[in-house]
Amino acid sequence: MTEKTILFRDERNAAPAIPRVLETPTGLLGDALARPLHDLRISVTDRCNFRCVYCMPKEVFDKDYAYLPQTSLLSFEEITRIARLFVAHGVEKLRLTGGEPLLRKNLERLIGMLAELRTPGGKPLDLTLTTNGSLLAKKAQSLKDAGLNRVTVSLDSLDDATFKRMNDVDFAVADVLAGLEAAHKAGLGPIKVNMVVKGGMNDQEIVPMARHFKGSPYVLRFIEYMDVGASNGWNMREVVPSEEVVRRISAEMPLLPIGANYTGETAARWRYADGSGEIGMISSVTQAFCHDCSRARLSTEGKLYTCLFATRGSDLRALLREGRSDAEMSTAIAHIWRARTDRYSETRTINTDGLVLGGPKVEMSYIGG
């Protein structure tokens, strides 16, 4: 029998070294492959009230699973300080993730703090949040009032039986749709709806989902089932390629490709030929987009990861709690990003059976999608 190792928190993460010569950020920071730093994804909790089969399966994240203690989490002040340093290096977009970020108590206060940040040129940031939608109907207006710009909502099926099989907590589709409506009414847009497609489980829902959201205020995006972490038992045979998704939809509702909104956008865009909206394809398995990835990720306890498929991170919380100055921390961040060579998905595309990268990959529930 093969033994499976599952990594949730990697104790090998070390505080980054601080170069002797400190530097002033210029707002333009590139990695070893000349990819700029543009987007910071911040996980605010490792907890979630869903047990999705592709992210936090119940057999692993059961009632005995040990979540991070409150003292390990970054405080709102620590998150804001780190975000401010990243913004000075060129970050223009902040995305709050989890776990389920709306489970973090008083999250609106953090949103208000982040909404006050400005780029070196004085522009407000694009402040976004990804959610499973379970608490969105109740919180949409307060999130908007606090300064959140928009939301992305996960919804893997319109069929209750299929959706409940995937979220594994008996949560109904209607409640997510109510959250979408509340977010739209509050002005949290443009709103994106993410559907993870897992072959043999919900791929029969591709066309019904497209049909439902066609002509709506929401942009539906299909995500290939990814090999993030080890807990989801990923198998290439369960991946439905994006080109197959496009083929199925276009057979009934013709699609035309359109250009990206910006360099480094994760989703390839398609519009309906009749002009009734667009959809997106996130194809990190079959059509990797590492070449222009501009995203860094901050875990709930302050580890910096330079790739969704990373095996380890750099402990920024340790620097914070050692009392390091902004200049020291900013220089450390610059040093980490400049050394970045991550291109896991491109390499994996050559060998779709997967790669061994020197250790287990970190879980999506720990650093967000």
Tell me the mean pLDDT in the region 53-67. Answer: 85
Tell me the mean pLDDT in the region 230-254. Answer: 85
The helix/strand/coil state of 55 is coil
**Per the omega criterion (within 30 degrees of 0), is the bond before 233 cis?**
no
Domain boundaries, the chain: 39-367
Binding-site positions for GTP read 41, 95, 130, 192, 295-297
Work out the pLDDT band at 365, boundaries 50, 70, 90: low
Binding-site positions read 41, 48, 52, 54-55, 95, 99, 130, 154, 192, 226, 290, 293, 295-297, 307
Q: What does the pLDDT read at residue 5?
A: 36
Which tokens is 135 given? 């608490």
pTM of model > 0.75: yes
Amino acid present at 225: Y
Contact 256, 230 (CB under 8 A): no
Higher-pLDDT residue of 342 and 32 is 32
Report domain 39-367's class.
alpha beta
Q: What does the pLDDT read at residue 4?
A: 37
Residue 94 scores a pLDDT above 70:
yes
Work out the pLDDT band at 233, boundaries 50, 70, 90: low
Work out the pLDDT band at 302, boundaries 50, 70, 90: very high
Q: What does the pLDDT read at residue 202?
A: 95
> What is the DSSP secondary structure assignment for residue 125, as one 8-state letter?
P
Q: Tokens 């060998």 — which residue?
A: 351
- 119-136 pLDDT, tens digit per residue, is 999 999 999 999 999 999
Binding-site positions for S-adenosyl-L-methionine read 54, 99, 154, 226
Contact 307, 345 (CB under 8 A): no
Work out the pLDDT band at 363, boundaries 50, 70, 90: low
Give the relative orientation of helices 76-88 and 107-115 as an angle to the nearest 10 degrees: 30
Binding-site positions for [4Fe-4S] cluster read 48, 52, 55, 290, 293, 307
